[in-house]
Structures are given as C-alpha cells and as structure tokens.
DNA sequence: AATAACATACCGACCGTATGGTATGGAACT
DNA sequence: AGTTCCATACCATACGGTCGGTATGTTATT
C-alpha cells in the first residue's frame, strides 16, 4: 500500500495492521497477556513503528477499542436485519443475526471490548471508557427499534427500552464467556435463543 | 492461625492467604495482570512460600479456581433461598439472592472464574477447565429446582432445564461485564431483573 | 520550477526493570 | 531424624519503552 498522505493520515499501513492484530490477538490472549512485540510480529512491523503510532501500550488499547467500535458499527449498519417493516421483527432479526455470526474459532466471534473491559476496568480507566462507549453505543442503536416496538404493540411495562437494549448486550457478553469456558459456541447460541424467547414473550404476553 | 499439620495439609496459612489474595487481586487486574510478587505482598509471604505451595503461576490459577468453587458452593449451600416449598419460588429466590449480593467494590461481587476463563481460555487449558467446572457445576446445582418447577407446573417446552440453568450463569457473567465497563453495579442488577422476569414469564405463560 | 525547510513513517539496536522461576538454608513441627 | 514450611538470595529472560537514524513525503519561499 502506498504511503499515507496528509489528507488521509489514518491510512497508515502499519497502524491499521497493528489494530487488526490487536483485535485478533487480544481476543485470544487478553490485553495484559499480549506483548507489544507479539503485536508487532503479527502485524509485520517493528517496535519503532509501534511506538511511532501509539504513545504507549495503553494508547493502543484505546485505539483498538475505537477501531472496534467503528468497524462493528459499520458491520451492523450494513446488516440485513433492518429490513422488516415491523420494529419488533427488526429486533428479533437482530438477534438472529447475532446468533448467525457465532461460529468458527472463539476469537473470531467474541467481543474485543467486552474482553478488555473485563480485564482492565480497574487498572486503565481510559481503555475502560473506550470499551464502555463501544458497548453502550451499540446498545443505544437498538433502543429506537425497541421503543418503536413497544409503542407499536401498546406495551405498558415496568422496564425501559434502554434497559432491555443493555440487557441484550449483557446476555451476549455472558454467552461468550460460557462459550470460552466450554470451548463450545453452541453454549453461546443457546443463550441467544433464550434471549429471543424472552423478548418474544415480553411483546406477545405484555400486549394490552 | 496455627501451623498446618500433616493431617490437614490444605489448611496452610500461607497457602490460604495466597488463594484469598488471588481471589481478590485477579478480579481487579486479571490473571496476566497480576504478578506473583503482587500476590505475595498482598498475602504477606515471600516468593519462597509461593513456589513451595504452587509449582507454577498456572498451578496457582487452577488452585484459585478450585478454591472459588469450594467457597462459593458453601456460600450457596448455606443461603436462605432453598427454603420455599415451591421449586419455582426457590429459583426466583436464588435470583433475588444473586441480586442482593451485588454491591460494594466491583471486585467484591464479580466472578473470579468468569474473569479468568475470559482471559486464559486459549492460553491455559488447565485453568480454563477448572473455571468451566466451577461455572457449569454451579449451573447444575440449579437444574434440580428448575426441573422440579417444570414438572410442578406442567411445562412442556422447547427448552431444557439444563440450558436455562446455564443461561442464568451467562446472564450473570454478562451483567458483571456491563457493571465493570460502566462502573455501576445497577447495570448488573438490571439484567438480573430481566432474567427474573423471563423465568417468571416462562412459567406463568407456559402453563398448560 | 527549484529548493530549502520541515513533517511523517518506519527501522532496529538498546536500556532499565519487572517477571516467573530456582537454589539453598533454616526453623518448626511430627 | 525427617519432613514440612517458608525466607533470602539470586538468575535468565521478556517486557515496555527510548533513541538515533533514514527514507519519503509536503509546504513555503524565491
């Protein structure tokens, strides 16, 4: 790839490759378990390049979380689950999509920012905040459909759209942990099924 | 505390203190982020004591997971949620208990084996297996009540007691991650509330 | 249009320290 | 007397991070 220009400084070859390496390796070994040199080797760059692009290892962690937020936002924005006219169907289609994504190697379907937040929540506030922004930002992207579905079905509830959106993320994060502990992605799919059943019950049972 | 004897070699003072230090510090900083020396300092022992009791750092991880399984098993066995005569009430009381436990500093209510499994699932199979045993063993302790509740209410379902028991653990693990990311334990309680509502719906709606 | 001046991207050797782990000796209990 | 338990001293290495240097751009001046 060509050298980055002043107009697009983010296009640096090494920088992107380091972020992609971070995305994959940190999901396998965790943040503290991933050395800068391991990242450099995977990205095919030297340490000089690393510290040219990131002031510290923590700064790489923040950048990786932001990169994760950007790429996943793009993935979900372009996903087919927005198609249904009924907002509830969109929410359920979202869960189908999340379920369909689960598969292959563990590090390929688990969540970078969930992994990092779990690990560094107490030792690195900057990384933690970047992770929180990614998780809760994504949750917010579901809120609109949930709110619309509640209005659409005339749901009067003691729960909020915001809390349900956050709960979906909690279930997914927890599902990943069981999958990691057991080495079996079915363990994650199982929880998504329960979550889908819950939301289905909330809206078919709660109708008034 | 007295010196350990040959008859109860597991009662070693230093050993227990190291396991307790591991329980607390690993929940704060993760496994890789916790140094042997940090554990020794917290336990008030030297490295000689550490490597006398544990052959390697990984062995400490396995022992910490087992210690966690033992102590939490004892905690839950002695908890008051077993009192209700109705098995469904016992399941719901279990969730109330889990919810009530959430509070204080993050490391005080989050799960050691969930944290470790997340981090070392790929790099240390022995620790991962010990964590899995703790998580799924605890899940199994719920299965009996769920099964009894299903029979009791005549539930014919497309889900199993085993999968629902595992799902409860997934929700709790995920709830902890959101709490860590946000720094707010309410984020965890919120998900427990949703889980309780789900189980309630499953049994009141599914009655036939 | 040429060029001086500056900025960016990257390399790879190097440094100080922290780390997991070892070797050895001795006190306390059996 | 023998074994368990633990402290001290030490080691080799892996770690995060620095630094001098080079190649390749961009911008401003003339």
Note whether A29 contacts B121, CB cutoff 8 Å. no
Report yes or no: B177 at the A interface, CB cutoff 8 Å: yes
CA A206 to chain centre: 30
Q: What is the DSSP letter of B4?
A: P
Which member of A170, A175, A201 has the closest CB to residue B175?
A170
> Residues with Cβ < 8 Å from B80, sequence gap 6 or more?
B93, B97
Q: String of b and e for B149-165 (b: at least 16 CB within 10 Å)?
A: bbeebebeeebebbbbb
Q: Which residue of A has its CA nearest to B157?
A: A197
Taking Cα atoms as reference points, which of A72, A55, A61, A69 lies closest to residue A22? A61
Tell me the per-residue pLDDT of A182-201, one tens digit each, with 9 for 90 and over. 999 999 999 999 999 999 99
Q: Determine the distance in angstroms separating the CA of B26 from the nearest CA of chain A, rounded to an integer.
A: 9
Please report which helix (H) or strand (E) contains residue B177, including its range: helix B161-182
Question: Distance (Å) from CA B25 to C1' D5?
Answer: 24
> Mean pLDDT across chain B, nearest whole number?
93
pLDDT band at A1, cuts 50/70/90?
very low
Tell me the per-residue pLDDT of A75-130, one tens digit each, with 9 for 90 and over. 999 999 999 999 999 999 999 999 999 999 999 999 999 999 999 999 999 999 99
- Which residues neighbour strand D (beta carbon < 7 Å)? A 2-3, 5-6, 34-38, 47-48, 51, 55-58; B 3-4, 6, 9, 12-15, 45-49, 52-53
Q: DSSP for chain A?
A: -PPP-SS-GGG-HHHHHHHHHHHHHHHHH-STTS-HHHHHHHHT--HHHHHHH-SSHHHHHHHHHHHHHHHHHHHHHTSGGG--SSHHHHHHHHHHHHHHH--SSHHHHS-HHHHHHHHHTTT-HHHHHHHHHHHHHHHHHHHHHHHHHHHHHT---SS-HHHHHHHHHHHHHHHHHHHHHHT-THHHHHHHHHHHHHHHHHHHHS--
Sign of the CA dihedral running B188, A165, A111, A137? negative
pLDDT at B206: 58
pLDDT band at B12, cuts 50/70/90?
low
Give the separation between CA A92 and CA A94, rounded to whole angstroms. Answer: 5
Instruction: Please identify which residue in the block is written with the tokens 């292959």.
Output: A104
Note whether B178 contacts A169, CB cutoff 8 Å. yes
Give the separation between CA A200 and CA A113, rounded to whole angstroms. Answer: 28
Which member of A33, A166, A178 has the closest CB to residue B178?
A166
Cβ neighbours of B197 in A, within 8 Å:
159, 198, 202
Say yes or no to pLDDT of B208 above 50: no
A104 Cβ contacts chain C strand, under 7 Å: no
What's the average model confidence in pLDDT over A10-33? 88
A2 Cβ contacts chain C strand, under 7 Å: no
Question: Distance (Å) from CA B41 to C1' C27?
Answer: 22
Question: Distance (Å) from CA A187 to C1' D30?
Answer: 72
pLDDT at A126: 96
Highest-scoring range by mean pLDDT, A31-40, B10-19, B132-141: B132-141
What's the average model confidence in pLDDT over B127-141? 98
Give the separation between CA B180 and CA A122, rounded to whole angstroms. Answer: 8
Question: Distance (Å) from CA A5 to C1' D29?
Answer: 22
What's the average model confidence in pLDDT over A200-205? 93
Note whether B29 contacts A194, CB cutoff 8 Å. no
Taking Cα atoms as reference points, which of B162, B146, B163, B165 lies closest to residue B203? B146
Q: Coil, strand, or helix at residue B27?
A: helix
pLDDT at B14: 87
Residue B199 CB neighbour total at 10 angstroms: 22
Question: Distance (Å) from CA A199 to C1' D2?
Answer: 67
Give the separation between CA A30 and CA A174, rounded to whole angstroms. Answer: 16
What is the percent of chain A with per-residue pLDDT over 70, rounded to a whole number? 93
Q: What is the DSSP letter of B3?
A: P
Using the C1' atom of nucleotide D9, identify the protein residue whose alpha carbon is closest.
Answer: B48
pLDDT at A24: 95
Report yes or no: B119 at the A interface, CB cutoff 8 Å: yes
CA A110 to chain centre: 8
Taking Cα atoms as reference points, which of B127, B118, B119 lies closest to residue B170? B118
Which member of B114, B187, B188 has the closest CB to residue A177?
B114
Report yes or no: A149 at the B interface, CB cutoff 8 Å: no
pLDDT at B117: 98
């Amino acid at each position: 790839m060509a050298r980055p220009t002043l107009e697009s400084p983010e296009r640096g070859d090494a920088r992107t490759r380091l972020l992609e390496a971070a995305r994959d390796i940190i999901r396998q070994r965790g943040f503290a378990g991933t050395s800068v040199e391991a990242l450099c080797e995977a990205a095919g760059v030297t340490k000089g390049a690393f510290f040219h692009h990131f002031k510290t290892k923590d700064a790489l962690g923040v950048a990786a979380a932001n990169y994760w937020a950007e790429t996943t936002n793009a993935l979900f924005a372009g996903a087919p689950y927005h198609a249904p006219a009924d907002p509830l169907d969109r929410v359920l289609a979202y869960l189908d999509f999340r379920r369909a994504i689960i598969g292959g190697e563990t590090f390929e379907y688990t969540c970078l920012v969930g992994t990092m937040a779990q690990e560094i929540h107490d030792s690195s506030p900057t990384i933690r905040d970047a992770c929180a922004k990614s998780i809760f930002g994504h949750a917010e992207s579901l809120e609109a459909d949930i709110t619309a579905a509640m209005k659409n079905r005339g749901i009067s509830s003691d729960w909020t759209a915001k809390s349900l959106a956050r709960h979906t993320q909690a279930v997914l994060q927890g599902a990943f942990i069981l999958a990691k502990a057991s080495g079996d992605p079915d363990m994650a799919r199982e929880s998504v099924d329960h979550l889908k059943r819950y939301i289905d019950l909330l809206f078919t049972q709660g109708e008034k």
